[in-house]
């Protein structure tokens, strides 16, 4: 039994040691938050204090800021390219009241105004933050990228002007992800903000897998504990219990009232020489027999050794 207990203890230690490699949930949650902020504001180190900085520069010209290589840098700037009105516009491309101001591109697409624009998304029905929902959002957005008219087959999201550009227009607004794409050529477009969102989904998935692994490890640890308890219980059970009446008799005369040398004894350790005789050639096969005067004399309670 002790060997089994030792094996169970070793198994429990191994299972417990396996938890050290599990992902740190706090670190994973920080990673998810960091990736989502990079999707909004652009690729950067996590700020030690304060807010994330918008990694996109407003040059003052819509056509420059909303085409490659500036397109796709941040989710906020791409939203601005589609929704913010220029001084030549008189229509709200993304709906009434979504964008504040009608001063000009350099003012209305400033970092503070773009942050306000992101807040308009709170009007939408919020979904649970899960790997599936994040990936579904990225997929749904990227399907909005279309190859439009023009000699260079631009890939844009939003609505182009009548001249197939993302320039200012009263009823148009778009962001151009690529230009000079040959007709019929397959192109994979993945804005940087989409890359960060997918990284956040992966981090969430790893966190969920780590949680499941931790639960399995706890179950593996509990199993040896329960088995160890069961084995410990067996150690407390006396193999040959003595009844209270017999115990009293043994206490009065431990030699004559107790059968020390039983017929089934087979080794010196089981039957001391002071109470047993050894006969290797015993015809009845019982090599150990009680010495005369030491056999059990309690009539009706135990069988006399033969």
What six digits make up the tokens of 267? Answer: 């080794």
Domain ranges of the chain: 14-204, 244-306
The mean per-residue pLDDT over the stretch 295-306 comes to 43
Per-residue confidence at 265, pLDDT binned at 50, 70, 90?
low
Q: How many CB atoms lie within 10 A of CB 260?
A: 19
pTM of the model: 0.61
Between 245 and 298, residue with greater pLDDT = 245
Instruction: For the chain, give the percent of residues with pLDDT over 70.
Output: 54
179 contacts: CB under 8 Å, gap ≥ 6:
67, 68, 152, 154
At residue 180, the pLDDT reads 47
Residues ≥6 apart with Cβ < 8 Å to 258? 249, 250, 296
Beta partners for residue 277, in sequence order:
289
Return the higher-pLDDT residue of 55 and 273: 55
Task: Give tens-digit pLDDT for 171-214.
Answer: 678 888 865 455 555 666 679 999 999 999 999 898 888 777 77
CB 290 within 8 A of CB 297: no
- Does 67 have pLDDT greater than 70? yes
* Predicted confidence (pLDDT) per residue in 225-251, tens digit: 666 666 666 666 545 455 555 555 555
Q: Is 16 helix (H, G, I), strand (E, B) or coil?
A: helix
Cis peptide before 69 (omega within 30 of 0): yes
Give the orientation angle of helix 131-142 with respect to helix 192-235, to 10 degrees.
160
Q: Can you tell me the distance from the alpha carbon of 208 to that of 13, in angstroms, rounded to the nearest whole number?
A: 24
Q: What does the buried/exposed string (b/e) look like for 219-238 if buried means 16 or more CB atoms within 10 Å of the residue's CB?
A: ebbeebeebbeeeeeeeeee
Of the two residues 119 and 231, the one the predictor is more confident about is: 119
Residue range 11-61, pLDDT digits in tens: 555 555 544 444 577 888 888 999 999 999 999 999 988 789 999 999 988
């Amino acid at each position: 039994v002790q060997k089994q207990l030792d094996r169970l203890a070793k198994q429990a230690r191994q299972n417990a040691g396996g938890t050290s490699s599990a992902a740190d949930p706090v670190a994973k949650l920080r990673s998810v938050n960091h990736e989502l902020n990079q999707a909004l504001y652009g690729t950067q180190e996590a700020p030690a204090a304060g807010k994330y900085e918008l990694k996109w520069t407003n040059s003052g010209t819509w056509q420059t800021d909303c085409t490659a290589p500036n397109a796709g840098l941040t989710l906020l700037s791409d939203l601005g390219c589609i929704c913010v009105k220029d001084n030549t516009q008189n229509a709200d491309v993304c709906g009434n009241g979504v964008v504040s101001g009608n001063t000009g591109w350099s003012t209305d697409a400033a970092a503070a105004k773009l942050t306000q624009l992101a807040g308009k998304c709170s009007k939408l029905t919020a979904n649970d933050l899960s790997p599936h929902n994040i990936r579904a959002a990225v997929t749904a957005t990227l399907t909005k990228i279309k190859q439009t008219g023009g000699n260079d087959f631009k890939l844009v999201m939003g609505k182009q002007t009548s001249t197939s550009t993302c320039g200012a227009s009263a009823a148009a607004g778009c962001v151009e992800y690529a230009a000079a794409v040959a007709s019929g050529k397959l192109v994979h477009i993945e804005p940087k903000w989409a890359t960060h969102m997918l990284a956040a989904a992966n981090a969430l998935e790893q966190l969920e897998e780590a949680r499941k692994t931790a639960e399995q490890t706890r179950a593996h640890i509990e199993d040896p504990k329960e088995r160890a308890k069961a084995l410990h219980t067996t150690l407390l059970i006396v193999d040959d219990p003595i009844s209270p009446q017999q115990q009293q008799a043994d206490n009065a005369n431990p030699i004559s009232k107790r059968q020390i040398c039983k017929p089934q004894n087979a080794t010196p350790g089981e039957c001391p020489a002071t109470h047993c005789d050894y006969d290797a050639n015993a015809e009845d096969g019982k090599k150990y027999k009680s010495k005369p005067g030491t056999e059990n004399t309690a009539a009706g309670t135990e069988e006399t050794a033969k």
